Chains A and B, each alone.
Chain A
Amino acid sequence: MHWHRNGVKHLKRVAKPVFFIVLVVILAFTGIVFFGVHTQYGDFTTTVIRGVGDIRWGIDIRGGVDVTFTSPSDYDATDAEVDAAKSIVETRLVANNITDYEVYVDYGNDKIIVRFPWQAEDESFDPEEAVKELGATALLTFREGSEKSLEDGQTYEDLPLILTGSDVESATAVYRQKDNSKEYEYMVSLKLKDSGKDKFAEVTERLSSETPKGYISTYMDDNCISVATANEKISGGEATISGSFTADEAKELADQINGGALPFKLETSSFNTISPTLGTGARDAMALAGVIAFAIIAVFMIVLYRLPGFVAVIGLIGQVAGTFFAITGFFSFSSSFTLTIPGIAGIILAVGMGVDANVITGERIKEEINSGKTIDTAIATGYKRAFSAVFDGNITMIIVAIILMGAFGTPDSLASTILKPVFFMFGASTEGTIYSFGYTLMVGVILNFLFGILSTRLMTMSLSRFKIFRNPVLYGGKSAKKRAAENAAVTEGGAVK
Chain B
Amino acid sequence: MNNKKVLNFIGARKILFAIPIAIVAITIIFNCIFGVQMAIEFKGGTMLTYSYTGEIDTNAVKSVVEGENYGAVTVTTGSAMNGSMETVEVSFSSSEGLTADKQTALSDKLKESFKDNNLDLVNSQDVNPTSGTEFFLKCLVAVVFSFILLVIYIAFRFKKIGGLSAGVFALVALVHDCFMVYAVFVFCRFPIDANFMAVVLTVLGNSINNTIVVYDRIRENRNLYGNSLSLRELVNMSITQSITRSVNTTLTTAFAVLTICIVCAICGVTSIMTFAIPMMIGLICGTYSSLCISGPLWVLWREFYDKNHKDSNFNSRKDDKKDGKNLASTAVADKKKLMV
- Name A's B-contacting residues (CB within 8 A): 5-7, 68, 127-129, 131-132, 135, 267-275, 277-278, 281-282, 284-286, 288-290, 292-294, 296-297, 300-301, 304, 341-342, 345-346, 348-349, 351-353, 355-356, 359-360, 363, 367, 370-372, 385, 388-389, 392-393, 395-397, 399-400, 403-404, 407-408, 422-423, 426-427, 430-431, 433-434, 437, 441, 486-487, 490, 495-497
Contacts and interface: CB of A to CB of B under 8 A. Distances in A.
Given A351-B256, A427-B134, A496-B3, 19 more contacts: A128-B107, A270-B128, A274-B123, A277-B51, A281-B269, A296-B259, A297-B252, A297-B256, A341-B195, A342-B194, A345-B279, A356-B245, A359-B245, A359-B248, A371-B340, A393-B212, A403-B142, A408-B138, A422-B141
User: Which one of A372, A395, A400 has the greatest number of beta carbons of chain B within 10 Å?
Assistant: A400
Nearest to B3: A496
Interface stretch (B12-20, B29-37, B68-76, B197-205): B197-205
Contacts of A495: 339
A385 B137 CA distance: 41
Given A342-B198, A371-B337, A352 B249 contact: yes
30 contacts: A6-B330, A267-B97, A277-B122, A281-B81, A285-B263, A288-B263, A289-B264, A293-B260, A294-B256, A297-B256, A300-B252, A355-B249, A355-B252, A359-B252, A363-B245, A400-B204, A400-B208, A422-B141, A423-B142, A426-B134, A426-B141, A427-B131, A431-B41, A431-B138, A433-B194, A433-B198, A434-B198, A441-B205, A496-B2, A496-B339
Contacts of A433: 194, 198
B251 interface: yes
B306 interface: no
Across the A-B interface, the 4 shortest Cβ-Cβ residue pairs: A285-B267, A342-B198, A289-B263, A389-B216
Contact of A273 (B3, B123, B217, B268): B123
Q: Say what secondary structure dominates the interface of chain B.
A: helix
B101 interface: yes
Interface in B115-136: 121-128, 131, 134-135
Nearest to A433: B194
A271 B98 CA distance: 7
Given A68-B131, A285-B269, A431-B135, A296 B141 contact: no
A392 B212 contact: yes
Nearest to B134: A426
A163 B241 CA distance: 82
Given A128-B104, A389-B216, A397-B205, A355 B253 contact: yes
B285 to A, nearest CB: 14
Interface stretch (B144-152, B182-190, B292-300): B144-152
Interface of B: 1-3, 41, 51, 80-82, 85, 97-101, 103-104, 107, 121-128, 131, 134-135, 137-139, 141-142, 145-146, 149-150, 153-154, 157, 194-195, 197-199, 201-202, 204-206, 208-209, 212-213, 216-217, 219-220, 244-245, 248-249, 251-253, 255-257, 259-260, 263-264, 266-269, 271-272, 275, 279, 283, 330, 333-335, 337-340
Contact of A128 (B82, B103, B251, B269): B103
A490 B1 CA distance: 13
Contacts, number: 270
A496 B268 CA distance: 56
Contacts of B260: 286, 289-290, 293, 348
